[in-house]
Amino acid sequence: MQRRATGLLLAAAALWGLARWARHSHPAWAWVGAFAEAALVGGLADWFAVTALFRHPLGLPIWHTAIIPARKDDIARNVGEFVETHLLTPQALAQEVAEGDLAARLAEALQQPATARQLAGWLLQAAPGLLDSLDDDQLSAWLAEAVQAELNRLDAPGLGLRVLQRLASEQQHQRVLDAVARALQRYLEDPEHLPAVTDFIARALNLDHPLYRSVIKTAAPRATQAIAQQLGLLHDSPDHPWRPRLDEWVTQWLAELPEHPGWQVRLEHWRHDGLASPTAQAWLIRLWPRLKARLHAALQAQGSAQAPHPLADALTARVQGLGLRLQTEDELRRSINAALAAALAGLVQRHRGAAARFLETQLARWSPTEMSDKVEQAIGRDLQFIRINGTLVGGLVGLLLHALNAL
């Protein structure tokens, strides 16, 4: 493009010379000469102006030429100040985030299967290193305190009552009755336990006289056998009359339990003493190491092309679900955009001075010639179009002036 601009300037000079030589042969050559002369002047003037920005025209050290090389440091400083003052501003970035709706773009990207799988893969690769970089002692203490605080906030009486009500609704008390009945039946049916049963009856009835003990010893086998038979019948009979009575008793007991002050106090004491015990404290402290070990085991599972990582599909689905949620929940998108805008604004406010100084330093490291060449290359063809336009516009102005002189 530079050759074209120079060629046009030379053509204007040649045309001017031709018009001067043939000016007496025809009146039209006067018009041609006026055009060529003004075009030559305009082209030379714009050539000088363009060249003076980057170097000395014809190598002559004329004042106020080679402006960019001479003022390289000033340009670097002014560019840095301009970027800091007008470009890297919190207001500009906040407006860009608001207009660009970054959360919506993020939602769209996260829903793409390829993007979600790639992000899931990155997370799976980065997770082990991230886990190892954490402070285990600090996390163990934090998790133990958090879990203990949550357990302390639990409504222990209410939770205990709901558990008992659930067990009663599932007839668990009947299963307990069956287990107790079967155990007592087997105990009483074992002859080895007969002396202990006889001694228990005597002490329960407070009968220490040898005669009474002899009577009890004689009657105990039949009594224990009869009781064992009844216990077996209770165990084997779902319709045993004792069972409805047990249901009624359990129902009444559960209804009265919330009003019993001792129940709530005992549960609170059990919880407090249990959580304060060394066993519970050791269990709480071991929560994070156990959780970390499980996470490492899950993350270290090997995948293949035929069978991907066991967590890959689940994590990919989570990523896509997050994208769908971002797309459908306007309030969530607004909050994320606001958070991004605030974070970027704070980041820019803290570091825009450093960014401007970095830019200024990098520009100042260029030599004057390097600065001039890079700026000229960046502007490109437009510099030569300035020369071409100057030549053509100058010629047209020359025609106009010649026409005014001819009036």
Residue 344 falls inside a structural domain: yes
Residue 92 falls inside a structural domain: yes
Instruction: Answer yes or no: do 340 and 378 share one domain.
Output: no
C-alpha 30/C-alpha 43 separation (Å) is 20
Dihedral sign for Cα 174, 178, 183, 187, please. positive
pLDDT value at residue 209: 57
Percent of the chain with pLDDT over 70: 92
Tokens (6 digits) for 396: 């047209």
329 lies in some domain: yes
Q: Is the pLDDT of residue 18 over 70?
A: yes
Do 30 and 115 lie in one domain? The reply is no
Q: What is the pLDDT of residue 109?
A: 87
CA pair distance 108, 62, nearest whole angstrom:
59
- The pLDDT of 139-154, averaged and rounded, is 84
Q: What is the pTM of this model?
A: 0.44
- Does pLDDT of 156 surpass 80? no
In a domain, 371, yes or no: yes
Q: Pick from 228, 259, 290: which residue ends a domain?
A: 259
Query: Does residue 272 belong to any structural domain of this protein?
Result: no
**254 in a domain, yes or no?**
yes
Spatial separation of the C-alpha atoms in residues 173 and 155, rounded to whole Å: 24
> Residue 302 has what pLDDT?
56
Q: So what's the pLDDT on residue 305?
A: 46
Query: Do 330 and 374 lie in a common domain?
Result: no
Flag whether pLDDT at 153 surpasses 70: yes
CA angle (179, 184, 189) in 5-degree steps: 130
What confidence tens digit (pLDDT) does each residue in 327-342 have? 888 888 888 888 888 8
Query: Domain range spanning residue 349?
Result: 85-125+313-353
Contact 83, 359 (CB under 8 A): yes
**Same domain, yes or no: 182 and 250:** yes
Q: Report residue 99 as tokens.
A: 């207009």
Provide the CB-side half-sphere exposure for 97 (13 A, CA).
20
23 and 112 belong to one structural domain: no
Q: Which amino acid is at 13?
A: A
Residue 239 has pLDDT above 70, yes or no: yes
Task: Using pLDDT thresholds of 50, 70 and 90, give the confidence band for residue 161.
Answer: confident
Rounded to whole angstroms, the Cα distance separating 6 from 388 reads 8
Are residues 113 and 62 part of one domain? no
What the block records as the tokens of 303 is 């995948």
Q: Please report, rounded to a whole number, the percentage of residues in the chain having pLDDT higher than 90.
A: 0
Q: From CA 12, how far away is CA 20, in angstroms rounded?
A: 12
pLDDT band at 304 (very low <50, low <70, confident <90, very high): very low
Q: What is the pLDDT of residue 179?
A: 84
CA distance 250 to 253: 5
Question: Residues 252, 328: one domain?
Answer: no
SS3 per residue for the chain: CHHHHHHHHHHHHHHHHHHHHCCCCCCHHHHHHHHHHHHHHHHHHHHHHHHHHHCCHHHCCCCCCCHHHHCHHHHHHHHHHHHHHHHCCHHHHHHHHHHHCHHHHHHHHHCCHHHHHHHHHHHHHHHHHHHHHCCHHHHHHHHHHHHHHHHHHCCHHHHHHHHHHHHHHCCHHHHHHHHHHHHHHHHHHCHHHHHHHHHHHHHHHCCCCHHHHHHHHHHHHHHHHHHHHHHHHHHHCCCCCHHHHHHHHHHHHHHHHHHCHHHHHHHHHHHHHHHHCHHHHHHHHCHHHHHHHHHHHHHCCCCCCCCCCCCHHHHHHHHHHHHHHHHHCHHHHHHHHHHHHHHHHHHHHHHHHHHHHHHHHHHHCCCHHHHHHHHHHHHCCHHHHHHHHHHHHHHHHHHHHHHHHHC
**What is the Cα gyration radius of the chain?**
48
Q: Is 63 in the same domain as 96?
A: no
Give the highest mean pLDDT range of 124-128, 138-142, 395-399: 138-142
Torsion angles phi and psi, residue 336, rounded to 5? -70, -45
Phi, psi of 89 (to 5 degrees): -120, 145
Residue 23 has pLDDT above 60, yes or no: yes
Asked which of 154-158, 177-181, 320-324 is least confident by mean pLDDT, the reply is 154-158
Weakest mean pLDDT among 142-156, 187-201, 346-360: 187-201
Residue that is written with structure tokens 């066991």 in the block? 310
Q: Examine the fold and report which residue of 221, 241, 259 is the final residue of a domain before the chain moves on.
A: 259
Residues 163 and 238 in one domain: yes
Tell me if 308 is assigned to some domain.
no
13-27, 139-153, 209-223: the lowest-pLDDT one: 209-223
* Total domains in the fold of the chain: 3
Higher pLDDT, 147 or 192: 147
User: Is 375 found in the same domain as 347?
Assistant: no
Per-chain mean pLDDT for the chain:
80
pLDDT recorded at residue 213: 59
- Band of pLDDT at residue 288, cut at 50, 70 and 90: confident
Whether 296 is in a domain gets the answer no
Q: Quote the CA–CA distance of 225 and 223 in Å, as a whole number.
A: 5
Task: Specify whether 180 is located in the same domain as 217.
Answer: yes
pLDDT of 202: 66
Q: Above 50 in pLDDT, residue 54?
A: yes
Same domain, 320 and 254: no
